[in-house]
Structure 1
Amino acid sequence: MKKRYLVTNLFAVSLFLTACGNDDVAKALESTTSVETQNEQIVTELNAIAEQEGNLQGSFESTLSEDASLSTLADKTSAVFENVETRSSTLSELKETVSAMKEEQALLEEKTSDKLPQEELTALSTNIENLTASLEEYIAHYETVLAEQETYFSDLGKEDATYETLTAGMETINESDAEIKTLLAKLDQQLIAVQDAQAKSKASLNELNESSK
């Protein structure tokens, strides 16, 4: 009787573990799908910032040609300040996306069930960690860039502004731009790495999900 009791319970435990395994797969799929969305959002936000960067030169040249007294720089009504603000807003959105991706990485690391494709999930987690670290570096640098640009444009509108004010500021902007390009080249590779790792993880999880039905 005792033996029969144990066998019955082992069967029940087996069903329970199978259910848990299926649940783990579903939750892991949910996380990897979120990572895919966040990866795409990061690309969109970085491209939006880059597009506004491209518009800055035109806005600055228009201000110099249309406003001889540079009063719009002094009172901050020049389009260059709107450009800075737009990029700042997008940068804040990027920061939120990075934070959300880090949360998904933490959830992926909690998924240690042997029912899951651990090799693929570990690779995805590692790639997310590398990407988010680089994005945080980019964000910190870009916040400094935006502050420098706003100060530069404001200084140009002051009465004591000189030609040196103009050239020195441009040199600083160009140096920062070179560093941004280096960071973006690194991010480009890491975004691709996350995309590839995410696709592999999702494929393995979908296969497990189908086989368990």
Structure 2
Amino acid sequence: MPDTHTEQAAGLRLDGIAISLDGRTLVEADHTIGPGEVLTVMGPSGSGKSTLLAFIGGFLDPAFAACGRVICEGVDITDAPPQERHAGLLFQDPLLFPHMSVGGNLVFAVPQTVRGRAARRAVAEAALGDVELEGFFDRDPDTLSGGQKARVALARVLVSEPRFMLLDEPFSKLDAGLRDQVRRLVFERAGVRRLPVLLVTHDEADAKAAGGALIEVEPAPGPGNGS
């Protein structure tokens, strides 16, 4: 028989979350993101949609007020420090370390439970192959195209063995053709690993490609309400 408790605990639970600034509610969420599912939060720039992502990741600016709970795989992580939440983060920019090779960027993210230089390199090289960048281990990040950098950033997230993924407009700086390719790759790889995904975007095409539930955030009435 299936383990009912395990089934109920799987995924990422956003339990009665509400985030506000100066008494105005910016975004609310009461939703379970199942393994391999995507929840999209969509709204214009400055609407405060990224505050939900920040709250879940554990780095919400203290200027905002928040209530509710974040529960991952049945464990309440609302008060856990960011490094203990095991979130995989992708932003608009790939944020690769320029002083490291492509492979060095990935080895940096390999969990410490993988010991030995050869073993850690093998994990990184396998991750590069998974995003169709075989042979890129020794490349300088500055020599990569925008699409290649985005793939390296994805590989670095996946190699860290995250429990869920938080995507903050990660496709917005790619041209239309690359955007579709990288978006499809991100969602496919997250699905294969059965990772719950929260996507923040202002692009309807992103929401359509994600194919999951959607939270629409209203435009903010004035400046300073975040993104």
TM bucket by the smaller chain? under 0.3
> If the length of structure 1 is used for normalisation, what is the TM-score?
0.26
Greater gyration radius: 1
> If the length of structure 2 is used for normalisation, what is the TM-score?
0.25
Structure ranking higher in strand proportion: 2
